[in-house]
Structure 1
Amino acid sequence: MKTEMKNNGSSLILFWFDSLNIRLLQIILVSITAVVCWQVFSRYVLAEPSSITEELSRFLLIWLTVLGSAYAYRKRSHLGLDIIYNQGTRLQRRIMHIMIHTSVALFALFVMILGGIRLVLMTYELGQKSAVMGIDIGLVYIVLPTSGLLILIYALNFIFSSAENLEDAL
């Protein structure tokens, strides 16, 4: 009973993260489309190209890519080489599954979260601003620790669900 309550609570939290990430990705995609359309319109119809659209579309593309990678990981849509994985026994696959997601969790923690926070703090300390829009570059880079946190949460969920199944198999 406690496991069911724990799974329902964690499922609700994951559902909330998924919903928030999907909505954010949708907003970013619509925004990129609008910005690029405005760029084309202002350049070819008005003959006076907008100066911020190129930089804004680049920043939005960065956010779309990094947050989209977290979503792809959650949905298990990321690229993978599964030749060895598919040849293993059921128990071996579960062990590999835990090892793979543990590696992803460690990467998300140390590179994306901790490294991303250091990068954001460094850009704020240096006062680095974007060339055209004049916004802090740290606002662009904040997507790294954010996405890393999502990936870490998803990886831990995969690890714990695999560990529970592993105990049942033993």
Structure 2
Amino acid sequence: MKDQFLKLEQVSTGIATVLACAMLAIAASLGLFQILTRFVLERPAEWTEVLIRFSLIWMVFLGIPMAFRQGAMVSVDVVYRWSGPAMRRVLDAAVALAALALIFIIIVWGFDYAKRGTVQSVIGLEGISMLWAYLAMPIGGLFCVISIIGNYLDPKREELENAQ
């Protein structure tokens, strides 16, 4: 069961990471396009600024699961280094529970924002609902839940190991 969940976590975190990288590429491409249209063609494309903002929001919320999986988000390094194996497992559980509580709040509020955003249109892109921007929170949060549980089951302390 544990191995199957870790395989699911590896796939889901990989998907989230690829999508986060794609969002970064989209933001960079749109930024270049915006520079070309504004300063070379002298006819700015206002819609690119909004899409850059949206893609960066999605990039952040889809990139967080990889940070959780690597153990780089919430850490108590000093206490962890001073603790024995039993206390380290307690710390792992406390950090995982705190992170899950935070992500649960983000998911709940994100769905609420997305639901309310259906009637709100994006400035500069009036045909698009704010739903698509707000969905980054709950969708990224769901990927985070899988990564947090995966990190609890199979801890990776890449940040801690590299600091020594």
Confirm whether residue 29 of structure 1 aligns to residue 24 of structure 2.
Answer: yes
Gaps of 5+ in 2: 156-164
Measure how far apart 1:81 and its partner are. 4.1
1:16 aligned counterpart, secondary structure: helix
State the percentage of identical aligned residues.
21
Q: CA contact under 8 A between 1:101 and 1:159: conserved in structure 2? A: yes
Between the aligned partners of 1:78 and 1:151, the Cα distance in structure 2 is 11
TM-score (norm 1): 0.83
Please tell me whether Structure 1 or Structure 2 has the larger radius of gyration of its CA atoms: 1
Instruction: Number of aligned residue pairs: give it.
Output: 154
In structure 2, distance between residues paired with 1:11 and 1:159: 10
Q: Within the alignment, does 1:122 sit opposite 2:91 as a pair?
A: no
Please give the per-residue CA displacement for 1:15-68, whole angstroms capped at 9, x wherever unaligned: 220221122112111111110000011111101111111111111111111211
Which of 146, 150, 155 is 1:153 aligned to? Answer: 146
Between Structure 1 and Structure 2, the one with more strand by share is 2
**Partner residue, 2:135:** 142
Question: Compared with structure 1, are the counterparts of its residues 107 and 142 closer, same or farther at alpha carbon in structure 2 (3 Å cutoff)?
Answer: same
The 2-side partners of 1:160 and 1:79 are apart by 16
Q: Does 2:62 match 1:62?
A: no
Q: Is the 8 A contact 1:102 1:159 kept in 2?
A: no
Structure 1: give runs of 5+ residues left out of the alignment.
Answer: 1-5, 163-170
Asked whether 1:133 is paired with 2:128, we answer no
* Structure 2 partner of 1:107: 102
Q: CA RMSD in A?
A: 1.7
Shift of residue 90 of structure 1?
A: 1.6
> Which runs of 4 or more aligned residues in structure 1 lie more than 3 Å from their structure 2 counterparts after TM superposition?
158-162
Q: Is the 8 A contact 1:112 1:147 kept in 2?
A: no
Partner of 1:75: 70
